[in-house]
Amino acid sequence: MNVARKSLAAAAALTSCIAARCHILFILLFCSLPRALAQRTIQSGFENYAVDTRPPFVSLDFRTISHAAVADSSTIPSIPAFEGQRFLGAGGSIFLESPNGQAIEAYTLHLFIRDAPNLRFGIEGQRSAPLQFDTWQTIQGSFDSPVQSFNISGFYSVGETFDQFYAIDAVQFTTVPEPQTFWLITLGLTAVIFLPHWKRMKSPAALK
């Protein structure tokens, strides 16, 4: 009888402990969910990158003409500085992704471009119009569903097609976490809450 009572008491204590820990887990998840899934705004300029280097969040489109590198008014005197002294000088087709690696929902960037014959400039396949030439302008856009990167392209043609040079500065990304972020938080909190109790259950003293 004593053994049965002890077993029932142990089972009741275990149930109570699990219920309490589940309650704690629910509260922590409820509090962390808005932060885990919240939008984030990432501002990125090019002051911290050396001239003639390409920042890690900028990639080239190897399917066509493509080049991009940090520049300043000493290397390209014809383009005035926008913020600070450095900007991204690019031509042809490039890709931008968020520096924090999260999916991009919207963007704001500042563009400097000159006019050219049969100019075609667009972001993610959509032509940006009307363009202002020989001055910095603000371009904004958003996506129906978040993307990992988006394309910027500039070309002109005079019989043949050539890459159009343009400059970019002060890029702002609105990002959203990947769906697996929430599940990683859930697994982490579950491990933190239940692992100590599981270790106690597996200890020799608990098995007696």
Of 22-26, 175-179, 197-201, where does the model show the most confidence? 175-179
**Overall average pLDDT of the 99-118 stretch:** 94
Closest CA to 168 of 77, 65, 94, 75: 94
Query: Which pair of structure tokens corresponds to residue 62?
Result: 């190897």
Structure tokens belonging to residue 76: 């390209």
With vertex at residue 91, the alpha carbon angle to CA 87 and CA 97, rounded to the nearest 5 degrees, is: 65
Q: Please give the average per-residue pLDDT across 16-39, as a whole number.
A: 52
Side-chain-side CA neighbours of residue 124 (13 Å): 18
Q: Tell whether the model's pLDDT for residue 10 goes beyond 80.
A: no
Q: What is the dihedral of CA 72, 76, 82, 88, to 10 degrees?
A: -70
- How high is the pLDDT of residue 65? 87
Which band of pLDDT confidence, cut at 50, 70 and 90, is reported for residue 148? very high
Asked whether the predicted pLDDT for residue 160 surpasses 50, the reply is: yes
> Looking at per-residue confidence, does 110 or 25 come out higher?
110
Residue range 25-33: average pLDDT? 49
Q: Which two tokens stand for residue 206?
A: 């608990």
pLDDT value at 187 more than 90 = no
Angle, helices 2-37 vs 180-202, to 10°: value is 160
Q: Which residue has the higher pLDDT, 9 or 117?
A: 117
Burial 126-145 (b: 16+ CB within 10 A, else e): eeeeebeeeebeebeeeeee
Most confidently predicted of 31-40, 67-76, 183-192: 67-76
> Tens of pLDDT along 46-74?
999 999 999 999 999 999 889 999 999 89
Please report the pLDDT score of residue 36 as a whole number: 45
Among 53, 42, 35, CA closest to 189: 35
